[in-house]
Chains A and B, each alone.
Chain A
Amino acid sequence: MNDLFTPPPSAPAASGTTERGNNAPALSVSEISNSIKRELETRFDRVRVRGEISGFKQAASGHMYMSLKDDNAVLSVICWRGVASKLSIRPQDGLEVIVTGRITSYPGRSNYQIVIESMELAGEGALLKLLEERKRMLAGEGLFAEERKHRIPFLPEVIGVVTSPTGAVIRDIMHRLSDRFPRRVLVWPVLVQGDGAAEQIARAIEGFNKLPLTGPVPRPDVLIVARGGGSLEDLWAFNEEVVVRAAANSAIPLISAVGHETDTTLIDFASDRRAPTPTAAAEMAVPVRADLIGENQEIGRRIYAGANRLLGERKMQLEALARGLPDPRRLIEEKTQRLDDRAERMRNAVRGYLRNQTAQLSEISARLPHPKQQILLASHQLDSLKERMTVSLGQILPKRQQEFDRLDAARRMQAATGLRLERSVTALQSLDRVLESVSYKNVLKRGFSVVRGDDGAVLAADQISDGMHLNIEFANDRSVAAVAGSDKGPLVPPGGASGKSGSKPKKKPGASGEAAQGSLL
């Protein structure tokens, strides 16, 4: 170890190593232990170590303790809880791993150890490799095949247990069995580890199978092969070929319960069922008696209730149907009554019908008139018509005469003609009055006069020349004058008046017209 430790300058041990003598100061155990601890922790602050895990256990605190080993050496390993929960693999005995951590010491026990921070798989350990090869071989023979498995009986009469007669395993099994369903148990005591263990176990399994069905020793209905927890090496007997073959060939259903839940041995593949613990094997072997008693009682209740209800339902159906069956006597009575009723109604109906018809007949015949009456009535009507005709004829002639008289044609025609003549005369007279009122003679009355030439034409002033004879007309007289030459001027007005009076002479024919008209009247 000396080469491992290069004494640090500050170490108190430095002076002691070079000079051996009584004067050398003695170090206390704690001093040197702590010095070693410091030294280790400084020197192997972070190392990687490869080895096979052995003796793994996890404390209740969660910390993990195990060893790493190779052919020649062993190294204690600690994995604190915080790191343990984060490990990428679950440590297991036989596993070849590489851990990373720091070396430290435990002065209390003069131990050194590695506190790891990580763990990785290094490969199969030698044993595991062997195990794997054997497993492959046996699986290749079909020993682990599903179709070889037997069903575990629901309620075995006898249970055969192959295990160590001492220790917790048989106690756990018996305890759990009596809790659930006390049974007859045959224990075949065997060594479960060490030399000859595998052979004993195999022989026990075969021995149970060889027991005759009817013999002094009852043949178990189920077998439990059990062992408590241990290292891979401890459990190795259950990986041996003889044991695996015996389990696979067992005609009696076999439950294996070897080690803890995490331990898997080859017998577990060959058994019909694998229990994680011996206690669990007992649970698989028997049901809970109290539950079964309860279930049986419940079934008994149900079967009674079911049968009862069935009978009750049938009875009710029968009663219901019986109620539905009518009393035949009542059936006839009712029919008889209905018949009587109908007969009565029929008789009444016939009578009523006849009565009704008779009444109708008499009513109709009453309304039928006698022929004599009809003839009389007709002749009355005829007479009346005749009379009305005569009356009408007598009335029509005077009426027409009256109408004619009322017309008064001759008188009205005469009157109409006279009236028209009268109206014409009146119109003519009024026209004449109008004519007179506009005659030039009225102008003459106011002092004017009309000058005419010889030819009788009215002259204008510029037509008058010297020596001309002028006929001058006055209101009530006419005179002839000759023009003795003079100024034309004063003569102009009579000329103008003669222009106006040009139409006046025509009045005279008008007057003669009046006379003609008068004669017409």
Chain B
Amino acid sequence: MTDVSQSKTSPADIKKMSFEEALAELKTIVGRLEQGEGKLDEAIEAYDRGAKLKAHCESKLREAQEKIEKITMGPDGEPRTEPFEVA
């Protein structure tokens, strides 16, 4: 339940989560809700956080644009990227 209270104070933590982390926590919340146990207000908070996690996962899934670049070395020896076309 600590993560639930965190969600109230810092919902920003979700934004930093990887898709996998968000999905794992979402599954935990769903499992808990489906068991129908716990206090009602906790359940509501869990639902709230679950909805945010789901939205986060969705946004991660949405940003699926393909982009391919090639590494090249600049004159300073630092790597740069330039568009790359697959032959």
Interface residues of A (CB under 8 A from B): 153-155, 165-167, 170-171, 174, 177-178, 181-189, 204, 207, 211, 216-217, 289, 292-293, 295-296, 299-300, 302-303, 305-307, 309-311, 313-314
- CB pair A155–B87 under 8 Å, yes or no, is no
Chain B residues near A303 (CB-CB < 8 A):
26, 29-30, 33, 47, 50-51, 54
Decide yes or no: A186 and B36 within 8 Å by CB, A154-B18, A289-B61 being known contacts.
no
B27 at the interface (CB under 8 A from A): yes
Can you add 17 more A-B contacts, CB < 8 Å, to A153-B18, A289-B64, A300-B51? A167-B87, A170-B86, A171-B87, A182-B65, A183-B66, A186-B69, A186-B81, A189-B71, A207-B71, A292-B19, A296-B54, A296-B58, A303-B47, A307-B44, A307-B47, A307-B50, A310-B33
Query: Nearest chain-A residue to B32 (Cβ)?
Result: A306
- CB pair B71–A187 under 8 Å, yes or no, is yes
- In the assembled complex, the CB of B7 is this many whole angstroms from the nearest CB of chain A, namely 14
A153, A165, A182, A311: the one within 8 Å of B64 (CB): A182
Chain A residues near B66 (CB-CB < 8 A):
174, 177-178, 182-185
Interface positions, chain B 19-42, Cβ under 8 Å from A, are: 19-20, 23, 26-27, 29-30, 33-34, 36, 40
- In the assembled complex, the CB of B28 is this many whole angstroms from the nearest CB of chain A, namely 11
Interface residues of B (CB under 8 A from A): 18-20, 23, 26-27, 29-30, 33-34, 36, 40, 43-44, 47, 50-51, 54, 57-58, 60-61, 64-71, 79-81, 84, 86-87
Query: Nearest chain-A residue to B33 (Cβ)?
Result: A306
Assembly CA distance A292 to B60 (angstroms): 10
- CB pair B87–A166 under 8 Å, yes or no, is yes
- In the assembled complex, the CB of B46 is this many whole angstroms from the nearest CB of chain A, namely 8
Chain A residues near B36 (CB-CB < 8 A):
306, 309-310, 313
Assembly CA distance A120 to B65 (angstroms): 53
Can you list 6 A-B pairs, Cβ within 8 angstroms, ordered by A?
A165-B70, A183-B67, A296-B23, A296-B54, A310-B33, A310-B36
A217, A293, A311, A313: the one within 8 Å of B80 (CB): A217
- CB pair A300–B20 under 8 Å, yes or no, is no
Chain B residues near A177 (CB-CB < 8 A):
66
- CB pair B64–A181 under 8 Å, yes or no, is yes
- CB pair B23–A165 under 8 Å, yes or no, is no
- CB pair A217–B30 under 8 Å, yes or no, is no
Assembly CA distance A211 to B65 (angstroms): 22
Chain A residues near B43 (CB-CB < 8 A):
307, 310
- In the assembled complex, the CB of B57 is this many whole angstroms from the nearest CB of chain A, namely 5
* Those 4 A-B pairs whose CB atoms lie nearest each other, nearest first: A306-B33, A182-B66, A154-B20, A307-B47
Chain A residues near B79 (CB-CB < 8 A):
207, 211, 217
Chain B residues near A292 (CB-CB < 8 A):
19, 23, 57, 61
- CB pair A165–B87 under 8 Å, yes or no, is yes
Query: Nearest chain-A residue to B71 (Cβ)?
Result: A188
Decide yes or no: A155 and B19 within 8 Å by CB, A183-B66, A292-B61 being known contacts.
yes
Decide yes or no: A189 and B34 within 8 Å by CB, A299-B27, A303-B26 being known contacts.
no
Chain B residues near A153 (CB-CB < 8 A):
18, 20
Assembly CA distance A155 to B58 (angstroms): 13
Assembly CA distance A307 to B30 (angstroms): 9
Decide yes or no: A171 and B20 within 8 Å by CB, A296-B57, A299-B54 being known contacts.
no
- CB pair B87–A184 under 8 Å, yes or no, is no
Assembly CA distance A174 to B43 (angstroms): 43
- CB pair B34–A302 under 8 Å, yes or no, is yes
- In the assembled complex, the CB of A313 is this many whole angstroms from the nearest CB of chain B, namely 6
Assembly CA distance A154 to B79 (angstroms): 27
Assembly CA distance A177 to B36 (angstroms): 40
Chain B residues near A217 (CB-CB < 8 A):
71, 79-81
- In the assembled complex, the CB of A372 is this many whole angstroms from the nearest CB of chain B, namely 96
Assembly CA distance A171 to B30 (angstroms): 40
Chain B residues near A182 (CB-CB < 8 A):
64-66
A216, A289, A293, A307: the one within 8 Å of B33 (CB): A307
Chain B residues near A171 (CB-CB < 8 A):
86-87
- In the assembled complex, the CB of B69 is this many whole angstroms from the nearest CB of chain A, namely 5
- In the assembled complex, the CB of B34 is this many whole angstroms from the nearest CB of chain A, namely 4
Query: Nearest chain-B residue to A292 (Cβ)?
Result: B61
- In the assembled complex, the CB of B75 is this many whole angstroms from the nearest CB of chain A, namely 15
A184, A289, A310: the one within 8 Å of B40 (CB): A310
Assembly CA distance A305 to B57 (angstroms): 19
- CB pair B19–A300 under 8 Å, yes or no, is no
- In the assembled complex, the CB of A521 is this many whole angstroms from the nearest CB of chain B, namely 146
Query: Nearest chain-B residue to A295 (Cβ)?
Result: B23
- In the assembled complex, the CB of B80 is this many whole angstroms from the nearest CB of chain A, namely 7
- CB pair A185–B71 under 8 Å, yes or no, is no
Assembly CA distance A309 to B47 (angstroms): 12
Query: Nearest chain-A residue to B56 (Cβ)?
Result: A296
Assembly CA distance A335 to B36 (angstroms): 41
Assembly CA distance A181 to B62 (angstroms): 10
Assembly CA distance A311 to B26 (angstroms): 19
- CB pair B18–A185 under 8 Å, yes or no, is no
